[in-house]
Amino acid sequence: MNQKKTRSVSVRNLTTAALIAALYVVLTGVSSMLGIASGVIQVRLSEALTVLPFFTFSAVPGVTVGCFLANLLTGSPLPDIIFGTLATFLGAIGASLLKKHKNLVAIPTIVSNMIMIPLVLQYAYGIKDAFWYLMLTVGCGELISAGLLGGLLLRLLHKRNIL
């Protein structure tokens, strides 16, 4: 019986991760269609999902795989696929470690993207703006997507005890 319980938890975790990954890809597609998913100022609606590791560790592989697939499907260059995914992964790990600090959950995602994505923009896309300027613009986009939208999602899910 114990083995059966463990197996069902694993299936649930895998299903949760897969659903989050799929939602991340869809939301990135919507952001891309709106023209706000890439460039110097990026507001990916999918980055709001990076607060989900607050509720379940299954969200860490979910948002990571979702980011990887979204970058791959939108035709991002290889450095963006690798390091954009890594930035999301690090932010998700950080969010999962902040279970006792709900109001800080979006900060790891904002910071990891502010540090890594300007380098991707400079080296993979050839954007010549200063690193500090790109940190500021990427940070603004992340404040909107992970901070504001992610914060709203966090409060909504926490209030309704959904996850």
DSSP per-residue string spanning 69-93: HHHHHTT--HHHHHHHHHHHHHHHH
- Compute, in degrees rounded to 10, the torsion defined by CA atoms 124, 72, 140, 52: -140
Q: Alpha-carbon distance 117 to 88, whole Å? A: 10
Residue 39 has pLDDT above 80, yes or no: no
Q: Where are the alpha helices (DSSP H) in the chain?
A: 2-33, 59-73, 78-96, 107-123, 131-142, 150-160
Residue 1 pLDDT: 45
Reported as a pLDDT band with limits 50, 70 and 90, residue 4 is low
Residue 61 has pLDDT above 50, yes or no: yes
Q: Alpha-carbon distance 40 to 42, whole Å? A: 6
What are the structural domains, with CATH classification, of the chain? 2-34+41-160 (1.10.1760)
As a whole number, mean pLDDT of residues 48-59 equals 96
| pLDDT digits 0-9 by tens, 109-152 | 999 999 999 999 999 999 999 999 999 999 999 999 999 999 99
- Mean pLDDT (the chain, rounded): 92
> How is residue 107 written in tokens?
């900060």
